Amino acid sequence: MSSRRSRSRHAGSSRITDDQINDLVSKLQQLLPEMHNRRSDKKSATKVLQETCNYIRSLHREVDDLSERLSELLENADTTQADLIRSLIMQ
Helices assigned H by DSSP within 39-78: 45-76
* CA distance readout (Å), 80 to 68, 76, 77, 85, 86: 20, 11, 8, 9, 10
pTM strictly above 0.85:
no
CA 86, CA 91: separation in Å to the nearest integer?
Answer: 9
pLDDT confidence of residue 32: 92
Q: How high is the pLDDT of residue 35? A: 78
Over the chain (91 residues), the average pLDDT of each successive run of 10 is 46 81 93 75 87 96 94 85 84 80
**The pLDDT value given to residue 39:** 55
